[in-house]
Every structure is written in structure tokens, then in C-alpha cells.
Structure 1
């Protein structure tokens, strides 16, 4: 239940609603660029540059607008990657993913409502090129999501100065689309694929657009945080806490209290604990006290 601490706060729900609105706008604008306005006699070919720029500039704009409110994940794969590297709480991750999926469905539904029926087509549903196998499509989604999330981790790293996350992430999305639209439709985002799939009920190989981005995102986040730019201070604190938790003295045990801070964004950050000594011989004298104060916490 510690993971759900702080759920009923105004800041938490502002962040969740921010993810919903940001994803709604992003999907609405991005899918709108895939609509062909040509007639039956004069059909317009799909403009890869237009679609890539719309998705890329759209995500850059949403990151700039909502980054300080919710972190502007706008992508369940990004949220899961941050959860695996302990940069976001479990409660926030669950609510974020729900908000992102709901926002994507609402965005696709709004576009479907305002678009003439004869122009809707596939509504931007992501599909694997018929010349590719399912395995090739899965690998494509893994790679393009890897480069996106690695860019997110790098551009948002607090240790790096002179960073422009909105611009960097937007360019990453543009590059992914320019390369992969003809391969898989360039999802990189399970919510982006879920929205139009629900509205027009088209689920061809839809699982690829969940498994691929999630694998790519987790691998990218793990590679950045634990291989290329590891947080040595966190590792040292964790090592010291584990050593203190294992220490014993004659007739006494060392208690380590895990103190966690709760900032405005509702993220829980592991900090070093304070040490209290409990004398087992005096336990009879403490029966009247709250038993919770004598529980040996673990790290």
C-alpha cells in the first residue's frame, strides 16, 4: 500500500488528467495527418513527411506543455520503463497507463466524429507491411521504441546540463516515423495504436504494438540507467542500507527506517534511513506502546 501513498492529492490527479489530455491531443492531431482528402478519382498518396512532422511536432508540443505537470509520458511503454527503473510509483504508473489509453481512444473517437465517413479509411491504424513477417514487424517496433526511450532518458537526465527534452524527443519521434511508417506504421506507443483500433475495431497483429514498444522501452531505460549512465550515488546508498540491515550486536538489533520523500509530482525517492537501537531485554517494558514502532523495517 506504500506505493499508493498520496493518490488522493490534488497534484496527483492533475498529473493523471494531464496525461489524459496530452495523449488525447497528440493522438487526435497525429491521426488527423494520416487522413487522405483526395477524391475517388483523384486520390492523394500518403505523405510520409507530413505524418512524421505532425507526430513529432505534436509530441514535442505536448512535452513542453505538460512536462512540468505530469512528466508528459504520453506513452504506456515510457511509463512502464520508468516504473522498472524506480523513477515513478506503482500507483502513478497504473493511473497513467489508464489515462493514456482512455485519452487515445477519446482522441481517435473525436477525429472519427468530425471526419467525413468517406474519408476515414483506416483512421491511421498501425499495420505491418504485407511484405514483412510478424517477427520483422516486432523487431522494428522494438528498435524504434528503443531509440525513442533512450532519447527520453538522456534528455531528461538531471545530471546533463543544457538539455532540451521537448525538441530532442520530438526529433526522435520524427526519425522513427520517417523510417518505420512503411514497415509497421511506426507506433512506438501502445496507446497510439489502441485508440484507432478500438474506434474502427481493427485488431490485425495488434499485440505487436504492445509487446514491441514495451520490450524496447524497458531495454532502453535499463541500458541507460544501469550500463551507460548508472546512478552511482543511489547504488552506494543502497549498498550501505543493506549492510546496516544485516548488522547485529549481542542482545540488540539495528533497525533501519526507510524514509521516503513525497514531492509535488508524487514520486517516491529512496533515501538513506536513520538507525534506532532496540534492546530486546526491555521488550516487556514496551508492551503498552504502539507495536508498529518496534517492527524491524527492511530496505
Structure 2
């Protein structure tokens, strides 16, 4: 079981140069991601006089977040693993792939990156609001929690399959693309209902800058549950020591 490999780590780990470099990489990747994703929504709203909630606005948000995440994961992959998401980091921790101490460094960096990105957006747009995530009319908090669980499960499952699994082989080269695409697809599915966060940091930055905290807990609980489920299921069933490995194609 992956939970048996959970490691707390030592307090000194948080001040090691390698951990600090990884934290800085997460900060920069998150800043890139949120600035482009949130900024695209703000730009679309400005160009369409508030039309960001239209179907075309949803498509624009999906594309912007997918493109930005592909880049953000790629530029951080060789330094921090390119998590760019506290839920992904939590999934890695549950699977025993990162210590709690290092995860804390990542979480702090990710949250700060999101806040700084939103502050930069507010300043550079002349004070436009960085809208916090909110539930649509008719969507209850538990509806949204389930949405976030399922969407984040798909995201973290994709991360495990393309980036974490030691048998991934050449599939690892498309990990950033696959991760970006599943996020873009999930935004098309859930964006009209709860904003389709899948990422507590992405929700945190706009909430801080706009100081809007209504139902904010939904965007933490759902992603963390989804990430934990994906980590446990994929690691236990597909990475475990008894996992079947496909024969080389030359053998048949």
C-alpha cells in the first residue's frame, strides 16, 4: 500500500538548497499558470463587456489553462517535478513520492505564486477584479465537491500514469501535454457549474486578492480527496510490485 510509504521528513529538509530551488520553481510555474489562465478570463471579459460566462468564454478559459499548464509543468518538471498544484503535491505525498516537509515547501510556494500572479494582474489591468471561484445557480456545495473530486481524480491519475509510474517509458515525454489536456477538458465539463478549479492554489489567489471566501473550502476538500483517491488506486493497483508488465512488442 502506498500509504505505508508516507514520510514526514525532517525540519532541516525545508532549508536545503535543493528544496528551496524546487520551491522557487513551483512559485514561478504557478505564477506563469495563474497569470495566463486568470488573465485570459479577464481579457475575454473586457473584450466582450462581461461575456466571460458565455460558451465561448468557457472554451477560451479551457484553452488558456490547458496551454499555460503545459508550459508551467514543462518548465518545472526537471527541478520540482512540475506539480503546479497543491492537490498534485498531496497526491505525491500520499503515494510516498515526496515527504511532508518538502510538500509544505511546495504548498507555500504554490499559494504565494498564485497570490502574486493575481496581484500583478490587478495592477497591470488598472484594477480589474480577479474573480474568485463561485458556484453557479442551482449547484450545491456537495454537488461541487463531487465535481472537484472527480475532475481532480482524473488529473492526478493522469499525472501518475504519465509522470510517476516507473514503467511510463517514453510516455513521460508527453506528460505535460496530457496533464494540460485533461485540465482543459475538465474545465469544459465543470466550468459552468463550479469553475472547475482542481487546484486549491488557483482558487486561493483570486480569493485573497478579491477577499471573497464564499464556499472556498469546496476548492480544497474536493481536490485533496480526488488526489488521494487517484494516488492510492493507481499506486496500489498499477505500480505495486505484483503489477503485470507488458511484453516488449518484439516478443509477439
Query: Do both share a fold (TM > 0.5)?
Result: yes
Aligned position for 1:269: none
Match of 2:30 in 1: 23
**Contact 2:9-2:101 within 8 A present in 1 as well:** no
* Residue range with higher mean Cα deviation, 155-164 or 133-142: 155-164
Give the match for residue 106 of structure 1.
116
Larger radius of gyration: 1
How far apart in 1 are the matches of 2:50 and 2:92?
A: 43
Indicate whether 1:140 and 2:147 are aligned. yes
Q: CA deviation at 1:6?
A: 4.2
In the alignment, is residue 82 of structure 1 matched against residue 92 of structure 2? yes
Choose from 102, 105, 116 the match for 1:95: 105
- Secondary structure in 2 matching 1:181: helix
> Which consecutive residues of structure 2, in runs of 5 or more, have no partner in the other structure?
1-7, 244-252
Q: What's the offset of the Cα at 1:79?
A: 0.8
Q: Could you say which residue in structure 1 is the equivalent of 2:216?
A: 206
Measured in 2, the distance between the counterparts of 1:185 and 1:7 equals: 33
Residue of structure 1 in register with 2:77 after alignment? 67
The answer on whether the counterparts of 1:104 and 1:191 sit within 8 Å (CA) in structure 2 is: yes
Higher RCO (CA < 8 A, seq sep 6+): 2
User: What's the CA shift for 1:43?
Assistant: 4.5
Match of 2:51 among 44, 50, 72: 44
- Moved segments of 4+, more than 4 Å: none
TM-score, normalised relative to structure 2: 0.85
Q: Which digits, 9 at most, give the CA deviation of each residue in 1:17-38, with x for residues without a partner?
A: 1111111111111100111114
Change (3 A) 1:159 1:5: farther
Counterpart of 1:185 in structure 2 is 195
Q: TM-score, normalised by structure 1?
A: 0.72
Larger fraction in helix: 2
Deviation at residue 4 of structure 1 after TM alignment: 3.7
